[in-house]
């Protein structure tokens, strides 16, 4: 008779994050905006040129060209 393992099965991978190309090193995200969004958060892109929103899992990728016009995304100039 086979023994039942106490190890849980690995979770199924979720959907790939939405990738938004930006040209600023600092972005603000509020989801899709309005009532369906989330609180606006300001995110700094890391040394690898990416950052993931902790609320909606959007992945922001630094692009030397033009950024995407995605709803609920605001590119912020300057730093702190």
Per-residue pLDDT reduced to its tens digit, 17-56: 889 999 889 999 998 777 788 999 999 999 999 999 999 9
In a domain, residue 7? The reply is no
| Domains of the chain: total | 1
CA 65 from chain centre, in angstroms, equals: 19
- Return the structure tokens found at 51: 């950052």
pTM of whole model > 0.75? no
What's the CATH code of the domain at 46?
Answer: 2.60.260.40
In a domain, residue 29? The reply is yes
Distance CA 72, CA 14 (A): 22
- Return the structure tokens found at 21: 């190309």
Residues 29-49: b if buried by 16+ CB within 10 A, e if exposed = bbbeeeeeeeeeeebebeeee
Q: Which domain holds residue 42?
A: 19-76
In a domain, residue 14? The reply is no
In a domain, residue 12? The reply is no
In a domain, residue 65? The reply is yes
CA atoms within 13 A on the CB side of 23: 6
Confidence of residue 80 (pLDDT cuts 50, 70, 90): very low
């Amino acid at each position: 008779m086979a023994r039942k393992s106490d190890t849980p099965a690995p979770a199924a991978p979720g959907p790939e994050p939405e990738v938004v190309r930006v040209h600023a090193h600092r972005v603000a995200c509020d989801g899709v905006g309005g009532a369906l969004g989330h609180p606006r958060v300001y995110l700094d892109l890391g040394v690898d040129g990416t950052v993931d929103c902790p609320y909606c899992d959007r992945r922001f990728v630094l692009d030397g060209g033009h950024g995407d016009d995605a709803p609920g995304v605001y590119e912020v100039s300057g730093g702190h």
